[in-house]
Structure 1
Amino acid sequence: MPAIDVLGTSAQSAAPPRRRMAALLAAAVTALVLAAITPWPRGFQGAASGDASLMAEVEQSLGSKHWHHVAAARINDDEVTFGGTGADEHTEFEIGSITKTFTAALFADAIGRGEIEADTRLGGVWPDLDGKVAEVTLESIAMQRSGLPQQKPWSGWGEGISGILANYVHTDPYRGDAKDIVSSLKLVELADPKPEYSNFGFAVLGQALAEVAGKDYTDLVRERITEPLGMEETVVPDSAEGLSHGYTASGLPAAPWTLGGSAPAGAIRSTTHDMSIWLRAVRDGSAPGAEASHPRKAFDDSDRIGWAWFTTTDRSPNLTWHNGGTGGYRSYLGFDPKSGSGSGSGIIVLADSANDVDAAADLVSTPDSEQAESASETTTSATERTGARS
């Protein structure tokens, strides 16, 4: 080792001073360029809004990653506290798979209206379907145990390649409209009907509800949920327009998603203001289809599932929750399901970078120490549950 040091020193001292200076300058310029174009992990950016103590807790719970902007709401009984950095309670975000809780509510509401039954089969909605897929029930889809694949089957190599490329250029990978979702059911190879998260399943469920109601999914969300609850900042977008923020987990810009015919799985945009309305209405049972949140069967070792909604079994208090993720956003919403009308805690976090925000659950609930280690090994991760998509 000393000989190598000596040789290195000798070689360096033999180099002409100008050459050494040019090499050092080139190295410095290269380092500056790389630093300029490479996103580095950093805290949330922008002006603070709302409750400073809430934001301090949120930022501490989420840790140091490629963050940009965040908005949060904490619910204690009927009191709502908002906070944000670079955003406030009226800033719009993609909520990803929290959309599924709206689709599940529409399912419960449609049962109450007599439009369908829980065990209505896909073949009962679309009589042209045949084979095993026609026997799949809507409730099995709502409870993520239908055997439908995680994603829509490719209609051809062109669709497959475009979807793969979308991941690399950070654009919406979901192609096709509502008719494409229905026609793709003929290409499905069903798996065993065991608990397995399926974005495609919820796209099918939402389009089935639209079919039996004679309306499109966007109209169902507006007429049956957002308008009755006064959620004026919650929409199913029909274009990519309107969002100027959204970043990948590594800090690169990501395009907005609209998801086309897969909108019922994850397309809704909303704010913490409106999400606080949704959380309280579901918690209190006053939301249309609120019974969708009630747990019905085990999903894994640490969660039970209702229709879309998960309920933990290894936290104090337990939380009924859903998370979400798109190409440039992450979201989390959870509340105490045993709190009763007008009482109990809840948390909402919306961020415009693709880093999970599920750790915000710790602000209103504590992992049970006896089960924490087991749960970390056996539970399905947030990325797997959202399919790294929505």
Structure 2
Amino acid sequence: MTVTDDHRISAAAGRPPRRLGIALLAASLTAAVLAAITPWPRGFQGAPTGDPELMAELEDALGSRHWQHVAAARVDGDEVTFAGTGAHEHTEFEIGSITKTFTAALFAEAIDRGEVKADTRLGEVWPDLDGKVAEVTLESIAMQRSGLPSQEPTPSFRDGVMSVLSNYIHTDPYRGDAGDIVASLNDVEVGEPEPEYSNYGFAVLGQALAEAAGQDYTDLVRERITEPLGMEETFVPDSAEGLSHGYTASGLPAAPWTLGGSAPAGAIRSTTHDMSIWLRAVRDESAPGAEASHPRKAFDDSDRIGWAWFTTTDRSPNLTWHNGGTGGYRSFLGFDPKSEQGIIVLTDSANWVDAAADLVSAPATDRTESASETTTSATERTGARS
């Protein structure tokens, strides 16, 4: 027993019994209220669906956190196995930054169509731009080394306040529309062209492709990717009306994100059914713009980058992958083109699911870290990217 503990006990013993009882009652009521309004980690919620073996492996990989609805798909060649809890292969989720792989595919497709070139500069897309930002190329954005800031500059002081407040009330922090994204380029500061993950950059890239095509981003995704591939459950939402919501890491409701003009960075909603189509089409290079997935340069010590897509250098086999995170959702998609295996996990809880990579790939054996440490490090690295 410590000195501090002795002091606390003596002080309590000297209180009048009635006041002590009131204090204990108040403390008990406060604890009860907090327990009632704060969800605690409870593991996986809802009835299991699909393949029980896959779900058991997924539960083991993801661990005991506050999970609401989870859906997964494991791909082996042309065979797809689905599993979930409280969800199935047609349950809709926000896929977050996996949206960037669609934007990158549109970039590759636009090059094939002759609408842009890899080295097209922003000043060529929007001739009114001048200065350093006008010299930023579309490819540098697609490879996350443009020097553009990580997040969209807020259109106004009020929008800035609301964006910060959204972190506390769990609403969509992206308030600018497509016009605001373009207008913000006039005042943006461009840093060094070195690897740095930028949601703002991909918002700009998507809007540049829309400008070059003479269509909005939503139509480009539908007409050039989802319709040709038969992905009927994948779309860019125009508004939050009627959309399902997700949950924070502790289980509190979080409003849906549509991201406004930043939609090309993370607004797409989809299902594991459709994402398995996307994975196989990119892997087999039958998807429009599939060459976007080819690694081109080093991004960091653990990954190379293509256009949006990352490829690991420290796993066996190495995976081509992207993850995603919004206010109430997390996602992971990864595949190995050689073995033709892949994994997709979508959840409406803000808990990272990157550890699902272990279901088809393992940390390289020559690394000094343990497998669990490597998985944690990978999640921490990728978490900052989404």
Q: 3-state SS of the aligned residue for 1:324?
A: strand
Task: Report the equivalent of 2:46.
Answer: 46
Distance (Å, rounded) in 1 between the aligned partners of 2:158 and 2:350: 27
CA contact (8 A) 2:125 2:211 kept: yes
2:102 equivalent to 1:102: yes
Which letter maps to 2:305? Answer: I
Distance (Å, rounded) in 1 between the aligned partners of 2:27 and 2:195: 54
Report the Cα offset of residue 34 of structure 1: 1.9
Which letter maps to 1:286? Answer: S
> What whole-Å deviation, never above 9, does each CA across 1:11-35 have from its counterpart, x for those lacking one?
649855x666555544433332221
**What are the within-5 Å matches in structure 2 for residues 28-67 of structure 1?**
28-67=28-67
Distance 1:8 1:219, change over 3 A: closer
Distance 1:27 1:213, change over 3 A: same
Distance 1:10 1:318, change over 3 A: closer
Distance (Å, rounded) in 2 between the aligned partners of 1:114 and 1:332: 32
> What whole-Å deviation, never above 9, does each CA across 1:111-162 have from its counterpart, x for those lacking one?
1111111111111111111111111110000000000110112333222111
Task: Report the equivalent of 1:166.
Answer: 166
CA contact (8 A) 1:301 1:378 kept: no
Distance (Å, rounded) in 2 between the aligned partners of 1:233 and 1:225: 12
2:364 equivalent to 1:368: yes
CA contact (8 A) 2:12 2:20 kept: no
2:175 equivalent to 1:179: no
**What are the within-5 Å matches in structure 2 for residues 294-309 of structure 1?**
294-309=294-309
Distance (Å, rounded) in 2 between the aligned partners of 1:7 and 1:187: 58
Which letter maps to 1:135? Answer: E
The count of residues paired between Structure 1 and Structure 2 equals 381
Distance 1:255 1:51, change over 3 A: same
Report the Cα offset of residue 347 of structure 1: 0.2
2:348 equivalent to 1:352: yes
> What whole-Å deviation, never above 9, does each CA across 1:44-68 have from its counterpart, x for those lacking one?
2111111111111111111122221
Distance 1:7 1:314, change over 3 A: closer
Report the Cα offset of residue 243 of structure 1: 2.9
Mean CA deviation greater in 21-30 or 371-380: 371-380
CA contact (8 A) 1:345 1:364 kept: yes
Task: Report the equivalent of 2:385.
Answer: 385
Distance (Å, rounded) in 2 between the aligned partners of 1:91 and 1:8: 55
Distance (Å, rounded) in 1 between the aligned partners of 2:328 and 2:302: 28
Q: 3-state SS of the aligned residue for 1:141?
A: helix
Q: 3-state SS of the aligned residue for 1:262?
A: helix
Report the Cα offset of residue 370 of structure 1: 2.0
CA contact (8 A) 1:356 1:382 kept: no
Mean CA deviation greater in 184-193 or 19-28: 19-28
Task: Report the equivalent of 2:152.
Answer: 152
Q: 3-state SS of the aligned residue for 1:90?
A: coil
Distance (Å, rounded) in 2 between the aligned partners of 1:298 and 1:136: 19
Task: Report the equivalent of 1:330.
Answer: 330
Which letter maps to 2:55? Answer: M
Distance (Å, rounded) in 2 between the aligned partners of 1:173 and 1:145: 24
Distance (Å, rounded) in 2 between the aligned partners of 1:284 and 1:151: 33
Distance (Å, rounded) in 2 between the aligned partners of 1:11 and 1:271: 57
> What whole-Å deviation, never above 9, does each CA across 1:338-370 have from its counterpart, x for those lacking one?
34xxxx110000010111100000000000032
Distance (Å, rounded) in 1 between the aligned partners of 2:49 and 2:361: 24
Specify every segment of 5 or more residues in structure 1 that has no aligned partner in the other structure, as ranges: none
Distance (Å, rounded) in 2 between the aligned partners of 1:29 and 1:115: 65
Task: Report the equivalent of 1:76.
Answer: 76
- The percent identity for this pair of structures is 77
Distance (Å, rounded) in 2 between the aligned partners of 1:90 and 1:315: 30
Distance (Å, rounded) in 1 between the aligned partners of 2:312 and 2:82: 25
> What whole-Å deviation, never above 9, does each CA across 1:276-300 have from its counterpart, x for those lacking one?
0000000000000000000000000
Which letter maps to 1:366? Answer: A
CA contact (8 A) 1:122 1:134 kept: yes
Q: 3-state SS of the aligned residue for 1:286?
A: coil
Distance 1:157 1:21, change over 3 A: closer
Which letter maps to 1:146? Answer: S
Which letter maps to 1:367? Answer: P
Distance 1:133 1:24, change over 3 A: closer
Task: Report the equivalent of 2:288.
Answer: 288
**RMSD of the alignment, in Å?**
2.3
Distance 1:315 1:21, change over 3 A: same
**What are the within-5 Å matches in structure 2 for residues 225-244 of structure 1?**
225-244=225-244
Report the Cα offset of residue 380 of structure 1: 6.7
Distance (Å, rounded) in 1 between the aligned partners of 2:2 and 2:302: 57
